[in-house]
Structure 1
Amino acid sequence: MIEPGKNIAIKVPLHKWEETVAYYRDRVGLKVTKELKNSIGFSFGNMTLWIDRVEQQSQVDIWLELFTDDPDKAIETLGSPVRDELEPLDDVNGHWTSDPAGVILLVRNE
């Protein structure tokens, strides 16, 4: 079984990052829950919306998280490519992949 995760990430080019963070913080009114060097997390219902600064990026991407008990089987079920080169997974049991439209998905154990 595959379920929605707890994180959504908007990957933003360097030149749009401050403006995008200000938009969600000041105009939308989302509460900042975590601040890292290149990421700011906002409370987004029962999820965290991350605005990530990506220096080498030229366009905005949306990345979603999915939970499953068996990430390998879920990747097989989805028929999606393994894209683990995208970002290090460190202590996460899962895989990066993408849907047919190119939206990046993190399929992992909760």
Structure 2
Amino acid sequence: MEAGKNIAIKVPLHRWDDTVAFYRDKVGLPVARELDDSTGFVFGALTLWIDRVPHQSQVDVWIELFDDDPDAALSRLGSPVRDELEPLTNVTGHWTSDPAGTVILLRKEQMG
């Protein structure tokens, strides 16, 4: 198992614009990609995503881990399957969480 390439901060709607501006204008991180509800910043070797989540009332940090066999890794971790959190499209893996509740995308890295 190894660290992935993405970290996401899930931000309530009313805090999203200010949070994106903070990382862009005050921290000075370069924008890597902009989507309708997400802005990705260059964060060293990672991408830091600031995701707008209208139905959320607090901030969550979500991380990504890679493993060649996500099902076996999930079993080793003893962590719950949390696939209801967000759809996984074209991804081999699962959403899960650590004991403190931090959401983890445990997936096979896509090559190419």
TM over 0.5: yes
Query: Could you say which residue in structure 1 is the equivalent of 2:42?
Result: 43
Letter in 2 for 1:3: E
Q: Report the number of matched residues.
A: 109
Partner Cα separation in structure 1 for residue 75 and residue 2 of structure 2: 16
Q: Secondary structure at the match of 2:24?
A: helix
Query: Could you say which residue in structure 2 is the equivalent of 1:83?
Result: 82
Q: Secondary structure at the match of 1:17?
A: helix
Cα deviations across residues 49-78 of structure 1 (Å, max 9, x unaligned)?
Answer: 000000000000000000000000010011
Q: TM-score scaled to structure 1, two decimals?
A: 0.98
Q: Secondary structure at the match of 1:26?
A: helix
Point out 4+ residue stretches in structure 1 off by more than 2 angstroms. Answer: none
**1:27 lines up with 2:26 in the alignment:** yes
Q: Secondary structure at the match of 1:16?
A: helix
**1:61 lines up with 2:60 in the alignment:** yes
Superposition deviation, residue 88 in structure 1: 0.4
Partner Cα separation in structure 1 for residue 19 and residue 99 of structure 2: 26
The answer for unaligned runs of 5 or more in structure 2 is none
**Identity rate of aligned residues, in percent?**
70
Aligned-residue Cα RMSD (Å) equals 0.3
Superposition deviation, residue 9 in structure 1: 0.1
Query: Could you say which residue in structure 2 is the equivalent of 1:98?
Result: 97
Cα deviations across residues 6-64 of structure 1 (Å, max 9, x unaligned)?
Answer: 00000000000000000000010000010000000000000000000000000000000
